[in-house]
Structure 1
Amino acid sequence: MISVIVTYQIKTEFVEQNKINIHNFFSDFKKLDASQFEYKVFIKADGVTFVHHSLYKNEEIQKELLNIPSFLEFQKQRDEIGLNGKPQIEILNLFASSDEKWKK
């Protein structure tokens, strides 16, 4: 199991476009086997900090998701137009889970 948290801030004027881009790649994610991954996006109270938390069964599904054209376009626009600073990427190691599907 692979768990990743990506936290980043967006320029105020790019927030709505970032939300649209996230909805676009989520539409594509919904076409995939959801038992193989979990992907959540949160917005902090400041309205410009986004937190993406993803769980993948394995590297194969992670690579598949990260190479979906709508996800690549989201990243491109975020990084080239909307990003305020650099994203923080954290890799987490699962210690315990109430959900059996994430056990090795």
Structure 2
Amino acid sequence: MLLRNWVAAGLPSGEFWPITPGEITVILRGARDRIQREAEIAKRLVYAQAVLNSHAWHGPRRMPDFDRFFGTARAPGSARQTPEQMMNALRDWSAKVSAAGLPEVH
């Protein structure tokens, strides 16, 4: 069953056998999350296209401009994390995982 799920996730079958069951679980969960994220993006794109088509057909003068319709990738005024902030966040996350007693994947 795991191998079937592995292949269904689009992963090469040759990479399945040398890894541990824990690694398989983590990788399959990550693949599942990616597939769900891609499906959500596709649904949002289809909806956005339908809304824009409706504006274009029924009221082209009311057609929103790109930035107003889609917004920006980040909130205005927010800055990217510095490498130091990223490492601190990773350390904090790692400490939380260790404190939770979750099994490590090697």
Q: TM-score per shorter chain, which class?
A: under 0.3
Between the two structures, name the one with larger relative contact order (CA 8 Å, sep ≥ 6): 1
Q: TM-score, structure 1 length as denominator?
A: 0.25
